[in-house]
Amino acid sequence: MSKKILITGAGGFIGGHLSKRLLNQNYKIRCVDIKPFDQWYQKFDQGENFVLDMTLKENCYKMVEGCDEVINMACNMGGMGFIENNKALCMLSVLINTHTLMACREFKIKKYFFSSSACAYNTDLQKDPTITGLKESDAYPAMPEDGYGWEKLFSERMCRHFYEDYGLDVKVARYHNIFGPNGTYDGGREKAPAALCRKVITNINDNSDTIDVWGDGNQTRSFLYIDDCIDATLLLFNSSFHGPINIGSEEQVSINEMINKIEKIAGKKFKRNYELDKPKGVRGRNSDNTMIRNTLNWEPKFSLYQGLEHTYNWINSEIKKKHNQ
């Protein structure tokens, strides 16, 4: 196929998996990320690969020119520990979306995808661990996660207005806690599934019987496996729908329940040291998939347990590789 797709944030977790899928579907891709190549989670020689800071306008114009469609996965993000302590850095990601949209208008790009987040939802609705799923309309009245969530909500609005004012075919997805192999599992930016898998594996290796848990473990979330995320993303991207739309799972669990699943995979039970002073985020969050079910006829294929098995095994193999170096 002659179509060329730009993927920003291609060295990241979702961006790497998306690059692989598009190459397998015989698309031409241009990949860009701010990280050096040796820090990309997945890098493919079949694509055009660049290391550039996409907050800079000139880099956005350079990357967009010559492409037909753009998928914007680039932003400063991580798990709750990162976004609660780096609000200004997260807000600066608005420059990536702003400059990329401007470049898309300049070069008459056919389609533009923006990766938003469930952090855009009103936090006042997320104070109860037994929360029902968040519908797309629940983002307003606006009170998103401070920093990261505000950037996502603002950028969603900018996408909407580029569609309304300039006719750019935008697609906006709100991701709910995507996880899986080939992503961050240590260093401070990892999310709960990867962090807990790493803690269990490390403590087994160290013969420790206690793991640290942020908060009281009763906070709830839903988590979507990466393969399901890529399926839904491309389904939205190739549809006539604009969004915003939830891409997530409705399988809500507490952090304690997720630890139970990881312990079952590992074959070992642990005592839990609850660190109540650590960042915890909202008390409860879950996805309502009514819109994506009705609009795109999409449902996740992987259960949380299946996704955790794949993730645990991958992190375990990565830790073994490091120990053997």
**Which sequence positions are flagged as catalytic?**
148
Q: How many CB atoms lie within 10 A of CB 239?
A: 14
Backbone angles phi, psi at 242, to 5 degrees: -105, -30
Among 274, 267, 303, 277, smallest CA distance to 193 is for 303
Residue 22, helix vs strand vs coil: helix
Sign of the dihedral defined by the CA atoms of residues 199, 284, 172, 161, in that order:
negative
For residue 192, count other CB atoms closer than 10 A to its CB.
21
The CA–CA distances, whole Å, from 73 to 3, 204, 228, 320 equal 19, 35, 16, 30
Q: How far apart are CA 84 and CA 216, in angstroms?
A: 18
Contact indicator for 126, 282 with CB cutoff of 8 Å: yes
CA distances from 177 to 25, 31, 209 (A): 26, 23, 28
Strand partners, 179: 225
Return the structure tokens found at 131. Answer: 């929360």
Instruction: Provide the token pair at 67.
Output: 């492409």
Q: What is the DSSP string of 290-319?
A: HHHHHHH-----S-HHHHHHHHHHHHHHHH
What single DSSP character describes residue 132? P
- Per DSSP, the three-state class of 102 is helix
